[in-house]
Amino acid sequence: MKRIMKNRSTSETDAFLNRKFKKLGFNITIHELRHTSATKLIVGIDFKTAAKLLGHYVKETMKTYSHVNDDMMQRATDLIGKIF
């Protein structure tokens, strides 16, 4: 995978982006954005694919991101409604 910000460690990149977000008036961190993106991602795709995209093992992804959110609950409700 090609790096966008060369010569920066992960922690340096996080700190750089967090400062930029704060300067722009956003009250969010890069970690929070990643977590939100991952949560949205698992609503639409399987855990194995999500884990690969996130650079995690499947077990780690399931443990971290398998909490039920509103989108997942709505999808399950819709699916059950179609069955009955």
pLDDT digit string (tens) for 35-79?
A: 888 988 888 888 899 999 999 899 998 888 877 677 778 888 999
Confidence (pLDDT) at 20: 92
* Tokens linked to 47: 């855990």
| Per-residue pLDDT at 11 | 87
Does position 1 have pLDDT exceeding 70, yes or no? no
2: in domain: no
Q: Domain for residue 4, yes or no?
A: no
3-state class (DSSP) for residue 64: helix
Range of the domain at 38: 10-83
Residue 69, domain member (yes or no)? yes
- Say what the pLDDT of residue 65 is: 83
Cβ(68)–Cβ(60) below 8 Å: no
Domain count, the chain: 1
Q: Is the pTM of this model over 0.75?
A: no
- The Cα–Cα gap between 49 and 41 comes to 10
